[in-house]
A and B are shown apart, each in its own frame.
Chain A
Amino acid sequence: MIAPGTAHQGVRLGRVSAEARAGYRISFRGRTGRLLADAAGLAVFALMAFPIYWMIATAFKPGRDILSLTPKWFPAPFTLQNFEDAIARPFFLDDVKNSVLIVGGTVLLSLALAFLAAVAVARFGFRGRTAFIILIIGVQMVPLNALIIPLYLMLDGVGQTDTLAGVIAVYLAVVLPFMIWTLRGFVANVPVELEEAAMIDGCTRVEAFMRVVFPLIGPGLVATAIFGFIQAWNEYIIAYVLLASPENQTLTVWLASFTTNHGPEWGPLMAAATLTGLPVVAFFLVLQRWLAGGLTAGAVKG
């Protein structure tokens, strides 16, 4: 419940709290309403987060507790054996290295290219701008799964199947449209006057972009970097088709091939899944406060 004074102040400042936006004061009166909403919120959280908890819990359980008809809710006798088994499997470290190289290459290259293109679209009216925008939107419409065949044949023709470079090139193209489109919104939000001031002070046009615009769109760069990271780290089908030899594969391909002839070994599989998910979550948590606003600030701008 928000006090009338707060609400009034909120309006004056042009800021209405989240509660007021939801029509909270009207729909729920008093404590009960808030408690109901909180209970519902926690229930949603439990439903969404349980699978992740279950993965981690399973990963720390000894085998006999995993294969038990009555599930053990907590990994009470606690073991690291599953992790040791997972890491000891062939090609784990190779594939970790490959994933890191692919993600690093994709994120750095795509950020650079997307920033340049976003500046062009946001700051210049030029012949071909509309065509470029159509290209951006158009290629986003194409489902990657439909392109596997020609991509495979094309890269096969130039000897780039089973190489990390081929995969990076594909991921780069896949993440670029979204990145350009998002960064464009951020660049458009930086007042042109700032660049002009820098140019009057003696910067060239390019220097003005690099020294003024680039630092100011930090949140946009972070949001798009996270996007690129997740896409590249999580992608499966392209890596699965393009990378034939096990020492060249990525972590997701390694993970999907975990099942043995005797069916999956759930303990090591859940440990491996935890290890695969960990870097993304870590990357996310470090940068997440930039994110919620970041993604849509570009999108809402249109």
Chain B
Amino acid sequence: MGAAITTRDLGPVLHRPRRRRFNHLPYALITPASLAMFGILAFPLGMLVWLSLQHYGLRELIAHQGTWVGLDNFRVTIADPLFQQVVVRSLLFTVANVALTIIFSTLIALLMLKVSRPVRTILMGGLIFVWATPVIVAIDIWQWMFDYEFGVINYLLTQLHVGNFIHHNWFDDPLQGFIVITVVTVWGAIPFVTITLFAALLQVPDDVLEAASIDGARPWQIFWNVTAPILKPIFLIVTSLSTIWDFGIFNQVYVLLNQRPSSDYFVMAVYSYRESFGVTQYGLGAAIAVVMVLILIVVTFFYVRQTLQTAEIT
């Protein structure tokens, strides 16, 4: 708040005119960005809700005119046993992937504090390479590595006597398929979360850590009682972002399964996409997407509140 107050107080001194006049400048500054965000994100969100209350198939698409059906789409969707499976599957997938991402990233970030400088540089370089890898590229790589015939992973697992993985198709069994999807997702998510946490760890005030270690706190006590609480906002951010990304997962499922995933592999976004663009039931697809957004709003409510609070303080 300090900066804002200073500017505002000095405003009249710096600007010649004495009279307090309405300041148009901040509005001029935010207008272009607001228009873009509102037009491309907020308006379609409203349109999504509106669509979910319509029957909107191929004929309606051509006529640009849907038929109002009230909450029918939601009734149909929620009563659909496949949909219920999809919700549970998406939630389980999200919990597993977010947990794995945060745990591995925290461990790697802490490890990065302990290694010697050259190793830290190498590790950081590797993370950045992975981070920069486009998700479609990553999916293609892992698809190749998990290939049933010539994939290096089947070879390694067989050599390491984990079992006989020769000609093992990972996607025959959806549970194993989701293990592959989890590997691809977590591998891709680790760099951003790790680098964010590492940078945040470097910003923990030194004197606090010194004091704790002088007082004889064990390293894990320092982490749990000093570092973790200070990093809480950052943990909140990365956890929420991971939740949003993992709950809305699409590419990893859709492209990994060659754009033809069976219903055993449907997660929220894939199911919504299928209903809309696969069987041209845009109204039903929109209803699924609305449910997806509602679930996310509930899940990320605390993050939004927290962020708003910090925004007010600054």
List A residues at the B interface (Cβ < 8 Å): 10-11, 14-16, 18-28, 33-34, 37-38, 40-42, 44-45, 48-49, 51-52, 54-55, 58, 66-71, 112-114, 116-117, 119-126, 128-130, 132-151, 153-154, 156-157, 169-170, 172-174, 176-177, 180, 188, 192, 196, 199-200, 205-206, 230, 233-234, 236-237, 241, 252, 255-256, 258-259, 264, 266, 269-270, 273, 276-277, 280-281, 283-285, 288, 291-293, 295-297, 299-302
Contacts and interface: CB of A to CB of B under 8 A. Distances in A.
B250 A145 contact: yes
Contact of B33 (A40, A176, A188, A280): A176
Among A122, A188, A258, A296, the most chain B Cβ lie within 10 Å of the Cβ of A296
B interface: dominant SS: helix
Given A20-B209, A169-B40, A252-B136, A27 B296 contact: no
Interface string B199-219: 111111011011001000011
Contacts of A192: 3, 6-7, 10
Nearest to A49: B126
A157 B313 CA distance: 43
B311 A141 contact: no
Interface in B186-203: 187, 190-191, 195-196, 198-203
B137 A173 contact: no
Given A22-B113, A292-B195, A264 B286 contact: no
B48 interface: yes
Contact of B3 (A123, A172, A288): A123
A37 B222 contact: no
A34 to B, nearest CB: 6
Given A19-B114, A139-B45, 19 more contacts: A11-B206, A18-B112, A19-B113, A26-B218, A51-B187, A58-B144, A67-B149, A123-B26, A128-B27, A135-B37, A143-B293, A148-B277, A176-B37, A255-B136, A269-B140, A291-B128, A292-B198, A295-B196, A302-B311
B86 interface: no
Contact of B47 (A14, A21, A150, A200): A150
Contacts of A281: 128-129, 132-133
Contact of A188 (B115, B206, B314): B314
B122 interface: yes
Contacts of A122: 3-4
B206 A16 contact: yes
B36 interface: yes
A117 B251 CA distance: 31
Interface string B8-25: 101000110000000101
B127 interface: yes
Contacts of B190: 48
Contacts of A300: 200, 203, 233-234
Contacts of B44: 147, 150-151, 154
A173 B255 contact: no
Interface in B269-314: 269, 272-273, 276-277, 282, 285-286, 289-290, 292-293, 296-297, 300, 304, 307-308, 310-314
Contacts of B119: 37-38, 41-42, 45
A125 B37 CA distance: 21
A143 B244 contact: yes
A172 B120 contact: no
B100 interface: no
Contacts of A42: 119, 122-123
A116 B32 contact: yes
11 contacts: A22-B110, A26-B213, A55-B140, A55-B141, A113-B32, A117-B33, A142-B296, A154-B44, A293-B199, A296-B199, A301-B314
Given A143-B292, A169-B40, A299 B45 contact: no
Contacts of B207: 11, 14
Contacts of B282: 149, 153
A276 B38 CA distance: 32
B96 interface: no
Given A68-B150, A121-B30, A143 B126 contact: no
A272 B160 CA distance: 31
B86 to A, nearest CB: 14
B209 A16 contact: yes
B145 interface: yes
A283 B131 CA distance: 12
A192 B2 CA distance: 10
Interface in B137-183: 137-145, 147, 149-150, 152, 155
Given A126-B23, A255-B140, A302-B311, A277 B29 contact: no
Interface in B221-254: 222-223, 233-234, 237, 244-245, 247-248, 250-251, 254
B103 interface: no
Nearest to B300: A141
A54 B213 contact: no
B53 interface: no
A292 to B, nearest CB: 5
A51 B130 CA distance: 9
Contact of A21 (B137, B202, B289): B202
Given A49-B129, A146-B293, A173-B36, A134 B29 contact: no
B41 A296 contact: no
Nearest to B184: A51
A126 B26 contact: yes
B89 to A, nearest CB: 16
Nearest to B134: A234
Nearest to A55: B141
B111 interface: yes
B258 interface: yes
